[in-house]
Chain A
Amino acid sequence: MSIILDISKIDMVFPTPKGDFTALQGVDLQISKGEFISLIGHSGCGKSTVLNIVAGIHQATSGGVLLNNKEVNSPGPERAVVFQNHSLLPWLTSYQNVELAVKQVFAKTMNKAEMHEWIEHNLNLVHMSHAMHKKPDEISGGMKQRVGIARALAMQPEILLMDEPFGALDALTRAHMQDSLMEIQAELNNTVIMITHDVDEAVLLSDRIVMMTNGPAATIGEILQVDLPRPRNRVELAQDATYNDYRSQVLSFLYEKQRKIETLSQPESKEKSSKTKEKVA
């Protein structure tokens, strides 16, 4: 399979008042077309920074990202992002949120009727056609995230970047969304990079799991190839020995090799996550 995205020896250094802070060092990863990659690691290890560099929102200090052999240095719709907090525009309906993206990307190639059809098709894909004309305030957290995914898919991206897309959802909704995502993935065969905290999610969805070491100067610790046949069924896999083996490999990386000692004086990250949950509720 051909390499679509080449993350080539990325370093990321943030200047701080106390001196430079090296967030990432030597992150190197090649991704094939149609591959589903999960980035997993403890909070603060720079997963989001990697994603933001691929998205073009941040610029790597050294090294670079090649998409189809072209260097990436600004954001663009061919690298669509699904943000953690859905980030739908609250003054637009679901339809209009997707429309904004479609109008921007397909302004020259589609006429009005085609755009309309394409928007409805994408909302249909995430099973949101019933709430097309509702505003984000009027739909649940899971539904918002669906619209966020529809918006990203509607850009027909070369690569889909997802920053903890289901992190703020409750467990049942999350499972439902994961199944939907697998369904869509089977149909469209997108290339996906997904950040996650959730070991089960990573094993269930991914072709490869990229495990990152703790920061500062975080980098790729291990890469686990997940060779489970698709379509995958979460209930059947729960009994599957290979599945559980993959699971325990990721767990042992996270909690034995890269065990994070959280001191009581740094409860910041916990506060943050509880805040995002409050927002959703």
Chain B
Amino acid sequence: MTTISKKLASNTSGISFKSLSMANDSMKNVLLPLIGVACFLVIWAIAASNIQTSLGQFPGPSHVMEQFGTLYQEHVAERDKATSFYERQEKRNAERVAKDPNYQPKTRAYTGKETFIDQIFTSLTTVLSGFILAAIVAIPLGIAIGLSKSLNTAINPIIQIFKPVSPLAWLPLVTMVVSAVYTTSDPMFAKSFIVSLVTVTLCCLWPMVINTSVGVSSINADWVNVSKVLSLPSWVHIRRIVLPAAVPSIFVGMRMSIGIAWMVLIAAEMLAQNPGLGKFVWDEFQNGSSQSLSRIMAAVIVIGLIGFLLDRSMLSLQRILSWDKDSAKR
């Protein structure tokens, strides 16, 4: 009897210990980041209250939170203005048509100020389009370079020289070339969008080309032999063997690119006054009201959050598409 009860006791204590340690783990995973954020907010608040600038006190967490509300309300107000503008226009046109059936109604687009939320979407669209364009160019190029040693030897110097150039150095050239070349009377995209997009593409290109070509050239020799024994035609060889084998390194390149692209885009928007979050920050800086600093700080936080989300979504995409689950862990 005693032994059984002892066993039972030890068993239950074992279970409770296990569940305790599990609970401990999840507590750690939730609690520690919360503690980290709390400490940061406290240090920020204390530091902010001690910094006086010509635009007033440096914003603390509470100011910035407040500003988020204001920014959202401004967005709602702007939308209301727009809808009422269109309503009025429609009404006016209807009246004139009723008076004179031959009248051709004119519709004009609303040209209000872009709100913070509009700017977020502009920046996101730009970064994603530039990134996709770069991927369309870089992945086939990377595969070609990885497969052909001579092509690699020929192109490598060019890549090595252009890779360390900040895309911002290209910006004036891109701006001039786009205004010279992209001249249609009815443009599908705004020039500023094309300029930002090309800048993003330029900085995404190199990491993707390099990582793709490394992935392709370091492909497992056994897999190449399998392909040889099967006498796969080169197109099938690329599609069924080379491309999947290179997917993990392609994703390494893509994650690097999207991180760099997001940083570069904000700087490019500030520099070129192209619509987007960068322009928002710059406009607020030029505006110089007592609210400016907290609005900029709000933008900084949003930029960081979006950068984080871009990286995470790339990681989730990698988890779905890549066969190598180990390389998609962090």
Contact = CB atoms under 8 A, between A and B. Distances in A.
A80 B231 CA distance: 11
Interface string A209-247: 000000000000000000000000000000000000000
A63 interface: no
Given A87-B223, A89-B244, A79 B229 contact: yes
Residue of A55, A76, A79, A89 with most chain B CB atoms under a 10 A cut-off = A89
Contacts of B225: 57, 75, 81, 83, 87
A249 to B, nearest CB: 33
A167 interface: no
Contacts of A57: 225, 228-229
A87 to B, nearest CB: 4
Given A79-B229, A91-B247, A104 B223 contact: no
A13 interface: no
Contacts of A81: 225, 229
The secondary-structure label for the interface of chain B is helix
A41 B236 CA distance: 37
A133 to B, nearest CB: 14
Interface in B271-330: 323-325
B137 interface: no
A136 B152 CA distance: 32
Kindly state the interface size class of chain B when it binds its partner: 10 to 19
A74 B231 CA distance: 9
Contacts of A135: 323
A74 B230 CA distance: 11
A76 B226 contact: no
Interface in B116-164: none
B79 interface: no
B232 interface: yes
A129 to B, nearest CB: 22
Contacts of B232: 104
A81 B223 CA distance: 12
Interface in B186-239: 220, 222-223, 225-226, 228-232, 236
B240 interface: yes
Residue of B223, B229, B231, B232 with most chain A CB atoms under a 10 A cut-off = B229
Nearest to B323: A91
Contact of B231 (A89, A104, A137): A104
Interface in A95-151: 100-101, 104-105, 135, 137
Contacts of A89: 223, 226, 240-241, 244-245
Contact of B230 (A90, A91, A104): A104
B229 A80 contact: yes
A135 B247 CA distance: 17
B228 A90 contact: no
Contacts of A74: 231
A100 B230 contact: yes
A135 B323 CA distance: 9
Contacts of B323: 90-91, 135
Residue of B220, B225, B230 with most chain A CB atoms under a 10 A cut-off = B230
Given A90-B323, A91-B244, A77 B222 contact: no
B318 to A, nearest CB: 13
A87 B230 contact: no
B238 to A, nearest CB: 14
A135 to B, nearest CB: 7
A89 B241 CA distance: 8
A46 B323 CA distance: 35
B323 to A, nearest CB: 3
Contacts of B245: 89, 91
Nearest to B220: A87
A191 interface: no
Interface in A53-96: 55-57, 74-77, 79-81, 83, 85, 87, 89-91
Interface string B237-275: 000110011010000000000000000000000000000
Nearest to A151: B226
B229 A77 contact: yes
A155 B323 CA distance: 25
Nearest to B243: A91
A73 B259 CA distance: 49
B95 to A, nearest CB: 65
A81 B231 CA distance: 12
9 contacts: A55-B229, A57-B228, A83-B226, A85-B222, A89-B244, A89-B245, A91-B247, A101-B230, A104-B231
Nearest 4 Cβ contacts at the A-B interface: A91-B323, A87-B222, A75-B228, A91-B244
Given A57-B225, A77-B229, A77-B230, 8 more contacts: A57-B228, A57-B229, A75-B225, A89-B241, A100-B230, A100-B240, A104-B231, A137-B325
